[in-house]
Amino acid sequence: MYRRIAAATVRSRLSVLTAKKTAKRFISQKASGVEKELVFPGAVRSQFTNLLRFYDPTNDKSMDTYRCVDLSGSPIDPEYNPADDPFFSQEKVIKLYKDMVTISILDTIMYDAQRQGRLSFYMVNAGEEGIAVGSAAALGKDDILYCQYREAGVFLHRGVPLDEMMNQLYANEADTSAGRQMPVHYQSIQHNIHPISSPLATQIPHAAGAAYALKIAGKEAASICYFGEGAASEGDFHSAFNIASTRSCPVVFICRNNGYAISTPTLEQYRGDGIASRGKGYGIETIRVDGNDIFAVYRATRDARKIAIEEQRPVLIETMSYRVSHHSTSDDSFAYRAKTEVEDWKRRDNPIARLRKWMTNQGYWNDALDADTRVELRKEVLKSFSKAEKLKKPAISLLFEDVYAELPLNLKEQREELAEILDTYPENYPLSVFKNGREGLGDK
Ligand SMILES: Cc1ncc(C[n+]2csc(CCOP(=O)(O)OP(=O)(O)O)c2C)c(N)n1
Ligand SMILES: [Mg+2]
């Protein structure tokens, strides 16, 4: 059962840990007698050998990939059957399924809308809906979340309204990021999800730092960090993993390994055993799971979160998937991968089809229900879409606000200059699309 730990217990445990560490540090500096070997402080568990052998990691067995439901939707874990897990009531499973389907419908509509020039950019989640929704289902409301950009399901499942996501995509006057971010850079203060940041991997050290803060404050919550396997090539990944490990930070790292970093396939990104082997390298407990199996993702995240909070240390989950879509609307992936490769994946397996098979086996679902549900969800997405599209763009004054408490001289000058240009050439600037039009900038 889940062990609850009070803030005071965490704090006292931390001070004991610090005291023990200090004591240990002194002992390891001392010789422990002539008859005993000295232990090198840099590898205290290493044994001496008289054989000169280079360690070759390519001889290691690759880390297993955990799944509890197979391609046909049948349970295969002798120790765990989702049908017996009280968490997966019929109602709950249908909610998980609907969230995944909603994201996939959102993807289709927004991808096409971008192609029609109605928004500037979009990134689809196809093939990775199970990772986002399944992991989000295992999190607590006080957990602090950091996403990359292909985790729309996390936002939706955590309760961020579709309207709010759509407002962000349209960068309209109701957008919580005030129209200052690219589309798909969602955020939600209310749901403890930090804004998505375009420069890759910046969220990883942030998440490690937030976890350290949670530890110091003795909070019963974890920091949760999503990133792609490509982002794991950044220096930020390595510094974050090392600080999280050495400071024992309660953070769950969730890597989505979808086989590509834009056009670079994983075969060209690394030679090791995926990203999981790096967790091992940093002394972080690690599991690799099948990202198409929402139950496996949920279960791994639930257990990882428990370890992070109860044992106050980081955990890595490498979720395996395949990026079915182009990287973004700015990419044409058929320039670097075969269409047949993508078609094969689409046909063989995906998280939505897998859960649907399981639900059908359970008698929870059938084709008619599925068709009706999809029609309903499509209507909901389209309703949000047309509401967001009708709203105006944010007021122009927001170009200058929210950075300094008081506008510095150089920005005041730029603002005056902009006002002058807008007033001189009104025919070239259709200000009616912005909230309060020209008035939205204020006086010169
Ligand atoms: C610092 C930085 N370098 C490069 C980019 C350009 N870029 C955006 S996404 C991406 C690939 C990331 O791949 P991965 O982390 O595997 O995520 P995926 O797109 O596969 O979900 C790159 C190189 C960037 N945004 N930031
Ligand atoms: Mg990737």
Lowest mean pLDDT among 38-42, 68-72, 258-262, 313-317: 38-42
Lowest mean pLDDT among 11-15, 175-179, 379-383: 11-15
228 close to ligand 1 (CB < 6 Angstrom): yes
263 close to ligand 1 (CB < 6 Angstrom): no
Q: Which of ligand 1's atoms lies nearest the C-alpha of 327? A: 19
| CATH homologous superfamily, domain 63-390 | Thiamin diphosphate (ThDP)-binding fold, Pyr/PP domains (3.40.50.970)
Q: How confident is the model at residue 36 (pLDDT cuts 50, 70, 90)?
A: confident
330 close to ligand 1 (CB < 6 Angstrom): no
Q: Which of ligand 1's atoms lies nearest the C-alpha of 201? A: 1
pLDDT in tens, 301-334: 999 999 999 999 999 999 999 999 999 999 999 9
- Report the nearest-CA residue for atom 13 of ligand 1: 261
Interhelix angle 90-115/162-170, rounded to 10 degrees, is 20
How many angstroms separate the alpha carbon of residue 260 from the centre of ligand 2? 4
How many angstroms separate the alpha carbon of residue 349 from the centre of ligand 1? 25
185 close to ligand 1 (CB < 6 Angstrom): no
Output the six-digit token pair for 226.
């999503």
Q: Which of ligand 1's atoms lies nearest the C-alpha of 229? A: 16
57 burial level (CB within 10 Å; 0-12, 13-18, 19+): exposed
How many angstroms separate the alpha carbon of residue 390 from the centre of ligand 2? 34
Compute the average pLDDT of residues 181-185.
Answer: 97
How many angstroms separate the alpha carbon of residue 241 from the centre of ligand 2? 18
Q: How confident is the model at residue 442 (pLDDT cuts 50, 70, 90)?
A: confident
Q: Are 123 and 328 in contact (CB under 8 A)?
A: yes
Compute the mean pLDDT over every residue in the chain, rounded to the nearest whole number. Answer: 93
d(CA 430, CA 308): 53
Compute the average pLDDT of residues 69-89.
Answer: 97
Residue 173, pLDDT score: 97
How many angstroms separate the alpha carbon of residue 19 from the centre of ligand 1? 42
- Looking only at Cα atoms, what is the longest distance across the chain? 91
Q: Are 351 and 282 in contact (CB under 8 A)?
A: no
- Distances in Å between the Cα of 159 and the Cα atoms of 187, 287, 356, 413, 443 are 12, 27, 22, 42, 40
Q: Which of ligand 1's atoms lies nearest the C-alpha of 198? A: 25
Q: Best substitution site from 122, 123, 196, 262 to test ligand 1's pocket, by max atoms within 8 Å of Cβ? A: 262
Residue 34, pLDDT score: 55
Q: How confident is the model at residue 164 (pLDDT cuts 50, 70, 90)?
A: very high
Please spell the DSSP secondary structure of 332-392, one letter per residue: -GGGTS-HHHHHHHHHH--HHHHHHHHHHHHTS--HHHHHHHHHHHHHHHHHHHHHHHHSP
Residue extents of the structural domains in the chain = 63-390, 396-441
Query: Structure pTM?
Result: 0.91
Output the six-digit token pair for 36.
């005993």
47 burial level (CB within 10 Å; 0-12, 13-18, 19+): exposed
Q: What 3-state class would DSSP assign to 145?
A: strand
Q: Best substitution site from 129, 131, 200, 202 to test ligand 1's pocket, by max atoms within 8 Å of Cβ? A: 200
Q: Which residues, in sequence order, are bridge partners of residue 264?
A: 261
Residue 37, pLDDT score: 78
Q: Which residues, in sequence order, are bridge partners of residue 254?
A: 226, 317
388 burial level (CB within 10 Å; 0-12, 13-18, 19+): buried
Q: Are 297 and 291 in contact (CB under 8 A)?
A: yes
pLDDT in tens, 342-377: 999 999 999 999 999 999 999 999 999 999 999 999
Q: Which of ligand 1's atoms lies nearest the C-alpha of 227? A: 15
- The set of residues, in sequence order, having a beta carbon less than 8 Å from that of 339 and lying 6+ positions away, is none
258 close to ligand 1 (CB < 6 Angstrom): yes
d(CA 173, CA 405): 21
How many angstroms separate the alpha carbon of residue 236 from the centre of ligand 1? 13
Residue 38, pLDDT score: 84
**Helix, strand, coil content of the chain in percent (nearest 5):** 50, 10, 45
Which ligand is closest to the CA of 333, given by its number?
1
